[in-house]
Structure 1
Amino acid sequence: MDTTVADPLVGRVLDGRYRVESRIARGGMAAVYLAMDVRLDRTVALKVMHRSLAEDPDFVRRFIGEAKSVASLSHPNVVHVFDQGTDGDHVYLSMEYVPGRTLRDVLRQRGRLPAREALEIMIPVLAALGAAHQAGMVHRDVKPENVLLSDDGRVKVVDFGLARAIEAGNQTRTGVMIGTIAYMSPEQVTAGVTDARSDVYAAGVMLFELLTGRQPYQGETPMSVAYRHVHDRVPAPSSLAPESPAVLDRLVLSATDRDPNHRPADATALLVAAVEAHRTLPRDPAPRPAHAAPAGAHPAPANPTLVQSRTEMLTTPGVAPPPPGHRERRRVRPVWFIVALAVVMTGAIGATGWWFSEGRYTKVPDLLGINVTVAKAEAEKEGFAVKIGQPENDNKLGENKVLRTDPESGREVVQGAVITLIPSAGPRKIAVPNVVNLSEADARSKISEAGLTAGAVSRVPSDTVQRGLVLRTSPQVGTRVKEGGTVQIVLSAGQLMPDVSEMQCDQADAFLRGKGFTPTVVQQTDDAQPGTVIAQSPAARAEVTAGQGVQLTCSKGPDTGFHWPWENPENVQPGQALVAIPDVRFKKVGEAAQELRTAGFKVRVRKIAGTGAVVAENPLGQAPAGTRITIWH
């Protein structure tokens, strides 16, 4: 996880809603943070654009367009976008938080993957891209870093940060390359042109990397790699990994053809080919059943009832044997009757033999452990009818993989029979219990009784919860966590004395009374602006209790001389025009700061309440343009 020590956003509440808890990652366009949506009480991932890019209006418009496009895309293999907004200089996306690791992390740890496992990762990736292509969107940056493998086995595609509707392709300037060189299609390199087939190319390169453990092109510079994408052909994976099946060679070469017209039309077409390739991959031989007869032993007869039934079918029905001594009169039947009877008997024997022969029966395939969608397609390919049963929890098998089948694999059934696939629901999940306002010991006990593990403890100030009691948990109360999972505890460090220095005395008095304090004011001669707090007791950030008395020392100005009612009066030139200072109290911090800057003032922002709304402002009234205005939130 990325360091958060020096990150100024950690601990802030963006837009009065998202409390930033830690930084997860930092990329070329944005940083990603773990945050708490205090309005909906859920953990989210915040993607916050770098300030240098936030100052570019065109980029901001593309960023907002991304949010609207991706938020409309609902697919289980796509990371969901919840919200988009701004807070001062910060432009952000609120997204689904997926704990786990990236496919790049897996490749670094394991190197190349077995063919079947590589396809079982690619199939949900292609399903996600296919859904985007059907909706008219192109990802443009398909690579292992943008594929998340969650702790419970799900595969998610993230960062449609440069996705565009195909119809809006004219917004892209020719010659501008957006993407990662190692996975960039020839048409992206040469003309900056992208469509669904560009994503197909990148997916083919990624499959090559999964099978071989390396990218197809190496070079000393990005341009040398780009040159090879345009002029070379991606080699077959088996040229580097001889055990790679030929069917996957064909899949990679088809997806990475230099001519877009020769590739699959979109990710859905490549998905169909990938599922078919998965079906043809050889399996490990099934273990011999424990009850199998040893070599040379004579098998037991078939079901006696079935044998008896077959015998009865060959016996003329309704004819009783003659009594002893009975002499039946001999009758002569025509030759044609004998021939017809022989034909009927032969047909009956043949039909009965087919009914009980092995040709009518087949074995239930081994589908355990593979994606339920892939398993359904394979079973239907073999002629079975398939039902999906209710998922069942399993601590070892990831979600949406086949846990068991009914009938079980290897059992002989009639061709075309119904197979029920029971998917894994992953490990059993437990709701985080409500331990707010409990002591640390009681909270740990309650968390343990619920089947979870109490983890690290941190402390933060609180105006509402007594010192030493639980303020909140992470994950938050009610979140479903894997059985045995860790719950971090946040304890209240008690109420700390707010820093109201430099605030106007009347505003400081009102703010402190709103916090439950009992302030008194003492006037003192001072060079500071009249009516401004110059000292306070208790000091800022001292531990205090609700209702405690507070003494504010306020400036009544100097003994002699004239001062302007704003900061740094010595910088004011005689005759300089005064500008009305907008009263931005109770407005959102970002909007307030923008309004003051638009009026021609400099702005300093101080955090005191953490509500996201301005609670105090100094100075008020009039001041020359360029005066610094301080706002507290």
Structure 2
Amino acid sequence: MIGHDLAGRYEIISRIGGGGMALVYKAHDVLLNRKVAVKVLRQQFVHDEEFIRRFRREGQSAAALSHPNVVSIYDVGQEEDIHYIVMEYVEGHNLNEIIVERAPLQIEEAVHIAQQICEALDHAHTNHIIHRDIKPHNILIGNNGRVKVTDFGIARAVTSSTITHTGSVVGSVHYFSPEHAKGVNTGEKSDLYSLGIVLYQMLTAQLPFFGESPISIALKHLQDDFEEPRVANSHIPQSVENIILKSMRKNPNERYHSAKAMMEDLETCLQPHRLYEPKIVFSQVDEMQETKVMPAIRSSQMQDMNTTRTQQATGPVSNTVRIEDTTAMKTTALEDSELTKKENNWKKPLIVVLVTLVFLAALIWGFFKLLDTWQTDDVDIPYVVDLTEEQAREAIEEKGLRVKEPVTRETSKVVPLGNVMEQSKMNMKVKVGSFIELIISSGPELKQLPNYVGGMKTATINSLVELGIKESQLEFIEVNDDSEVGTILEQTPSSGSEINPDDVKITFTVSSGPETFDMPTLEGKKLADVKDILKAYGLILEEGNIKYEASYLFEKDEVISQNVLPNEKVVKGSKISIVVSSGQPKDAKNYVFNVRISPANSDSASEVEIIYSDARGENMKLDTRTITSTVDIPVTLVLDPDTVARVSVTRDGTFMDIKEIRYKDISKGSTTGLEIPGNVVQPTATPTTTETNPTPPGGSDQNTEGNEHNEQNEQSTETFAEE
């Protein structure tokens, strides 16, 4: 069935369970895009028309139930000889697995589960549907804690022929009500009896009745008392025990009259004022099941009864004997004599027959005596559930029993791989050499890991969550790649691997996009150099992405700006755009402005700082210079018609002077330079010389020569150039 597309709609994914009558599969409803459970009738029933008819009718009846605590029926159908029922898929465990794993359960948890089962039964009984097979295997506990009852109406479809053919009804004998065990009509109260056993098992971790065979267990339901819950588990409150005792009364009239009444009792049983209530007492006796003593019949009474019967048959006996009767009596005597002779002739054969019969009896007695000597002993069946398969086989073989081959293997989230989940017989004695059926856990249901390579990270996470895998079980390693960001490049385990969604660890290699690096600085560099730089970085500069603009600040062919700023992250292969200087505007003028400056004192050095502004920008600074004599410092200015250039001079940290240069002034040639003299140091006078008109150092002639020299130098430096 795995992989089969049932009815062109239900894609069978895996087997999730099974019983005596049907197998249950997990499937995908391709039409509504949802997970469903498909119950498929076993092949041995497909030729039982009565069973099929009831199976279909009961499935349709159960489909009418709509309740949060009932597994919904979606569809009932047939494909060739496959009869199926499609129902809600519940992600979780059945109650039997929970009982095996951790019973006895907490009182509050067990009562809460029983309440929800009561709600489901109340809804079903209101719709005139009786479950008839309430047991932990048919109660599902979802991962959200919601209790859901399944298999409504299926048990009703079992016929007398299927009881001996499959044993499915007998297989649930631990949960039978007494009326069910007798084979009489079962009603709503039969479901409540079974629920009482389920509650008993949840709180005590044991069943109320055990026996050597299903028949003996059924008889105990009819006749025997069970160990009271508080004897098995002293932590059970008296109020809860009273509910179990009332629901498990052998007389249906002494049980709860409805599931709703039992549910209301469960809702209040844990309230403080009820925990220590008196133990419930039942006074009513079921006369149909009570054992009575009958008076013995004496032999004299038996004789009288026989005489009475004879008289009634032949009439009264007359005391008068007639003559005709005497003749008849003689004739009868002669006939008796002849008969006696004939009887004597048969004595010998009769003796032979009797001797033969005695011989045969002795032979038969000897045969049975021999059988008694060959008869095998009865042995207790070992309990091997939860043992490994090897340990279970050893325990069974030590008792002289045998494991029926092949063993059944089923998936389980609770029982470890290779351990025994169930055994066919337990808590009874069987003959040495008997076969024991085992169901071995094949571990959790394994799912095939799809191929996610080439897909996107977000879609991959969503898909895996649908498979029951948590995000914490996923690891993503990001690497640089030319693929789109978030693209899955590799996965471990590989696609097609069988995985356990509960504990698998999956690693994905994900693209974080191409490798990035810091954008280099292009501004101020020559175009030819920029092309070499971009090529070395693997960046693309097309001619169409080079724009030329006039610039006062940058020389011709120098990069003015770039579309990706320096140090921004850029990907190899990206296209770059730049703006390149085409040179200064046509109306721009270059002018060399001369600054002549002397040290502050002729006998010491001075530091000179010149700051200038022109069409290229404000407050640009020349390198600071240290001078020891008068020097000329040229300052190259760029002017446009709308710009006023300024040159500011500072000596030894003291502002000395500022000069403005206008575009029109240099056009007319009327602009001069800037001269900043130093302080002259006077020589010390000798005591022997006295002059009335002291002359500055160098004399008047020297000053005259100096002035003339300065004027010539100034004229030689006042030049300008036009472009």
Task: Tell me which structure has the larger Cα radius of gyration.
Answer: 2
TM-score, normalising length: structure 2: 0.38
TM-score, normalising length: structure 1: 0.44
